[in-house]
Structure 1
Amino acid sequence: MSRRILRAAVVGAGLLGLDLAERLAQSPDLVCGLVAGRLGSAGLRRAARLGCAVSDAGIDAVDPAEVDVVFDASDATAHPARRAELAGAGVLMVDLTPGTGGVVVAPTVNGHLAETARHLSLVSCGGQAALPVLDVIARHCAPRYVEVVTTAAAASVGRAGRRNLDEYIAATEAAVRQVAGTPQAKVLTALTPALPAPAFRVQVAVLAGDVEPGLADGIEAAARAVRAGFAPGYEAARVTTERGRITVTVTVAARRPGLPGHAGNVEIINAAAVLLAQRHAATRKA
C-alpha cells in the first residue's frame, strides 16, 4: 500500500517555526496545514506568503481531528497539558522545545522510537548535536562525568529560545545523563554576538576509566550517519583521549538554501524533527 501524506501543524512562527514550514513544503510525506503563532507577528505574515493557513491562537488553534502531526517550536513552559492532550488524541507530538515529557529521540541513536511513540522530545539543538557522540562514547567506556558546552550565534536564537535557556540546560542535562548512563552531567551554553557569526559548536568532555579501542573511528562513523541522514553540515573533530579524559568538538553548519550557515542549531533540530515525522509517516499506510 502507498504511504499516507500526513497533515502537520507548526506551533511557533519564529526562526524554528518558519524553517519548519519551509521544510514541510519539500517533504513527500507531510503537508503543512497550519502555522500558529502570536498576533501580528512578522512570522505569521511570512508563513501566509508560503501558502500556509495561519492563526494567532497558538496551540489552541490545533484541532486533533484536522492534523496528524504537531511540531511545537514555541515556549517550553507554555502548555505542557495541551501537548499531552494532543498526544493522547492520537496526534504525533514532536516537541522541539526543551519542555518536560515525551520520549527523548535522536534520529541516529534511537530513531526507531518515532514509529510507535506519540510524544517525541527532541530535547534541544545541543542535545541533537551531542547525543550521537555520547552514544558512541558510552559504548566504549563507562562515563563518570559528562560536560557539554554549546555556543550558538546570537542571531540564530529567537525570543522563545532565549526565554527558555534554563529549561534548555535542564533538559539537555537530563538527556545527556540518560544516553551516557551517568548521574553526573553539566551543560553550559553561550550566545555569541561575534561577527562574522560562527557555526554552531558543541564541546563534549567525558571523564571515564578504561576506554576500549576504536572510539575515534566510532565517532566518525556516527558523524557520517548524521551527515547522510539529515544534517550534511555536521562534523565531529578533534577527538582526544588522555588519562581517562575524552574530548570531542562538534560543529554544525546549516546547508539548507535560505538558512544562514551559522544557523546549524536550527538546522540540526528541525531536520531531525522532519526526519522523525517522516519515519512515523512511513508506518501509517493509506
Structure 2
Amino acid sequence: MTTKSLNVAVLGAGLIGLDLVAKIQASPNLNCRLVVGRDPKTLGLRRAADLGCPISAGGVTALLGAGPFDVVFDATSAAAHTAHSAALSEAVPLLVDLTPSSLGIPVVPAVNGLDAPHYGHINLISCGGQASIPVLHALTRDHAATYIEVVTTVASPTVGRATRLNLDEYIATTQAAIRTFTGAEQAKVLVNISPAVPPPPFRVAMTVQAPGLEPARVHAALKDAERQAQAWCTPGFTITSCRVTDGRATVAAEVTATVGRLPAYAGNLHVINAAAVLLAEQRATGKAL
C-alpha cells in the first residue's frame, strides 16, 4: 500500500504528551497539527508551542473544531478519556488511548501489533503493561499460569500528576490486560514510585507460577520476547535476570529511553509513547513496521 502522511492531534500536554509530540515530529509519516490542553497557562502547552506545534487550551471541543484529524492520541486521564471517547468515536479514524481507561482494544505491539491496523480505538494499557506483557505472554504460551505478579519501579520525576491520580485505574487495567494476554487465573500489579537520587531505571519484576516450568524453555521464551520487544519499538528493552524453580519463574526487565529528549531512566514514558507512534505509523504505511 502507498505510504501517506497523517494529520494527528495530541490531547494532553503533560510529561507523556510532550514526549509524544517530540516522537511524532521525528516521524516522516505523522504531522502534529494540534496539541490540546485545558489551561492556557500550562507549561506543557508553552513547550509544545516552542516545539513548533499549534496549541489550544479549549479541550476536546477545540480539537473537534480544528479537525479533521487522521489520528488522535489521548494522553490525559482515565476519567477524561471516557468523555473524549464518546466525543471522538465517530470523528476520528484512529483514537489511541494512552490512559488506563480500559476502553478500546488493548494492544501490545510485540504481541498483537499485526492486528492493530484494523482497529479504530486502541488502548495501550499502561507503561507497566507494555513492558511486562511481552514477557508474560511468551512464558505462558505453553504453560497455564495460576498466578502472576508484576512490580513496576518508576522514577518519581517521570510520573506526572494525572498518572499519580490514576494509580488505581493503572493497577486495575494492567491486571485485567495481563489476565487477557496470558490466561492467568490471578494477576497482581504493584507500583513503586521511587524518589531515589539518582533516579532509578524503569524496571518490571515479574513472578509467574505455572506447573511444569522448565528452565531451558523459559530462557528460550525470554530471548524471543526480548528480541520481539526490541524489534517492534523498544531497543532499550533488556531482560536483566531470571530464575526458575519449583514451578515459579522470577524475571526482571529494564527499559531504557534510548532516543529523543528523554533521560535514560524515563523508559516508562518511552515504552508507551514509542508504541503509540508505531501504531499510528502502521496506519500511515498500511503494514506492520
1:225 is aligned to: 228
Query: Hey, what's the Cα distance between the residues in 2 that align with 1:272 and 1:41?
Result: 26
> Contact between 1:13 and 1:36, CA under 8 Å: does it hold in 2?
yes
2:17 is aligned to: 17
1:116 is aligned to: 118
Q: Secondary structure at the match of 1:47?
A: helix
Q: Which contiguous aligned blocks of 4+ residues in structure 1 show a shift greater than 3 angstroms? A: none
1:133 lines up with 2:135 in the alignment: yes
Shift of 1:100: 2.3
2:47 is aligned to: 46
State the TM-score, normalizing by the size of structure 1.
0.95
1:244 lines up with 2:247 in the alignment: yes
- Stretches of structure 2 lacking an aligned partner (at least 5 in a row): none
Q: Secondary structure at the match of 2:78?
A: coil
2:28 is aligned to: 28
Letter in structure 2 aligned against 1:154: S
Shift of 1:225: 2.0
2:217 is aligned to: 214
> Contact between 1:13 and 1:38, CA under 8 Å: does it hold in 2?
no
Deviation per CA, 1:40-74: give whole Å up to 9, x if none: 10110010111111011222222284201011111
Letter in structure 1 aligned against 2:58: A
Query: Hey, what's the Cα distance between the residues in 2 that align with 1:79 and 1:278?
Result: 22
> Contact between 2:154 and 2:203, CA under 8 Å: does it hold in 1?
yes
Work out the number of aligned pairs and report it: 284
Structure 1 residue corresponding to 2:91, chosen from 89, 92, 97: 89
1:147 is aligned to: 149
1:188 is aligned to: 190
Q: CA RMSD in A?
A: 1.5
Query: Hey, what's the Cα distance between the residues in 1 that align with 2:264 and 2:92?
Result: 36
Query: Hey, what's the Cα distance between the residues in 2 that align with 1:86 and 1:112?
Result: 24
Query: Hey, what's the Cα distance between the residues in 2 that align with 1:133 and 1:84?
Result: 33
Shift of 1:260: 0.8
Query: Hey, what's the Cα distance between the residues in 1 that align with 2:221 and 2:209?
Result: 18
Cα distance change on mapping 1:113 and 1:89 into 2, 3 Å: farther
2:179 is aligned to: 177
Shift of 1:90: 4.2
Shift of 1:224: 1.8
Letter in structure 1 aligned against 2:135: V
1:56 is aligned to: 57
Shift of 1:226: 1.4
Q: Secondary structure at the match of 1:206?
A: strand
Q: Secondary structure at the match of 1:7?
A: strand
Q: Secondary structure at the match of 1:169?
A: helix
Q: Secondary structure at the match of 1:143?
A: coil
1:272 lines up with 2:275 in the alignment: yes
Deviation per CA, 1:119-176: give whole Å up to 9, x if none: 0000000000001001101113110011010010000111111110010000000001
Shift of 1:89: 3.0
Letter in structure 2 aligned against 1:26: A
> Contact between 1:11 and 1:74, CA under 8 Å: does it hold in 2?
yes
Q: Secondary structure at the match of 2:146?
A: strand
Query: Hey, what's the Cα distance between the residues in 2 that align with 1:55 and 1:183?
Result: 45
Letter in structure 1 aligned against 2:4: R
Letter in structure 2 aligned against 1:100: S
Query: Hey, what's the Cα distance between the residues in 1 that align with 2:20 and 2:130?
Result: 16
Q: Secondary structure at the match of 1:194?
A: coil
Shift of 1:87: 2.9
Deviation per CA, 1:16-63: give whole Å up to 9, x if none: 000011111111111100101131101100101111110112222222
1:259 is aligned to: 262
> Contact between 1:230 and 1:275, CA under 8 Å: does it hold in 2?
yes
Query: Hey, what's the Cα distance between the residues in 1 that align with 2:93 and 2:64?
Result: 10
- Stretches of structure 1 lacking an aligned partner (at least 5 in a row): none
